[in-house]
Amino acid sequence: MSVTAAKGFVAAGVHCGIRKKRRDLALVRSLVPATGAGMFTVNRVQAAPVVVSREHLAVAQPQAVVANSGVANAATGEQGVIAARTTAAEAAWLLGLRTEQVLVLSTGVIGAPLPLDKVLAGVRTAALQLAPTGGAPAAEAIMTTDTRPKEALARGSGFVVGGMAKGSGMIHPNLATMLAVITTDYPLEPGEAIEFLRPAVEASFNSISVDGECSTNDTVLLLANGASGIERTPASDEELALCLRTVCRELARQIVADGEGATVLAEIAVRGAASEAEARAIAERIATSPLVKTALHGRDANWGRIAAAAGSARVDGGYAQLDPDRLTIVIDEVPVLVSGRPTGDEPELANGHCAIELDLALGDGAATYLTTDLSSDYVRINAEYRT
């Protein structure tokens, strides 16, 4: 019950009929006044729920979240926006809130109209089932091609941070085709939540990639209601930031591990770059290289593909600095290239995890990234997504 582990939060997950059998609508709310913030996709094609949630956050503090799976309500024009607003209004009426205090999330097929009658009926059912034990059903209700729910929890000194997320394909900053709702009973003032959320997202959800595709619906929300009643101090603020990073990183890891067709989880660590921005660009380039990802799927430690990807990382209109005579690459603790010289050693890549480390020996820039292999199952899943 991670999204309801913090005091004062309840949730529900129900089947409203968008999907044939699975739960497909989730409702989360705070029972006491909350404050919050959100981060959203940078895709120019933004789904109606993203547009509406942005509008609501600009004028009110969020108290509840409605999320549906199966239909993204993206590229649906004015009717899509009306549907998102109507969903928020229905939830607000049922919960005794103002419409602007309800945020809406959707995930699923792009371009399909939201079946509003089913969604509104689902909201009514979910409102009756809200409970502190509703976190797990809610996490299940936001799944699309996910094979399992994604939940995480971190406990601080007298407070809790919990969250749920969905994501499996179309995973790439900024953000990914993912939804995440994070709750805490830590006390925050209006306007403060974003300052805690942004760095946690940058270090987690914005440092992962499954297929290099940036979606239309990506949203991460944080709600804080202060129900823990703890006395806030600078030390407790630091602890909140740590707990929030922990929850976000764990949810991000679960998303990548559940990548569509994935059989390998790869951790890429770059250090010694000329700057942090260049380190990140190199890590991202390796993480999104089809040649690297297919080699991982074949359990082939083809470090030449890694080096080639690193050397073609773009940043600020040019390419990240890299001296091949200084480059060192280590795969699963086996050095394969040391200061530009091949060692002849060959890692086995025998399990479902791979650690790729690069040292450019040019500066202090460092970055990490999570990615997966690219399999024939990924092609099958996405080829059959609508059929």
Active site residues: 177
**SS3 state at 269:** strand
Supply 376's token pair: 């024939």
Q: Which parts of the chain are beta strand (E)?
A: 9-14, 25-30, 35-40, 64-71, 102-109, 150-155, 160-166, 179-184, 219-224, 265-273, 314-315, 318-319, 328-331, 334-338, 341-342, 353-359, 365-372
**Residue 138 and residue 5: Cα distance in Å, rounded?**
13
Rounded Cα–Cα distance for residues 91 and 107 (Å): 18
SS3 237: helix
Instruction: Give 235's contacts (C-beta < 8 A, 6+ positions apart).
Output: none
CA 296 to chain centre: 23
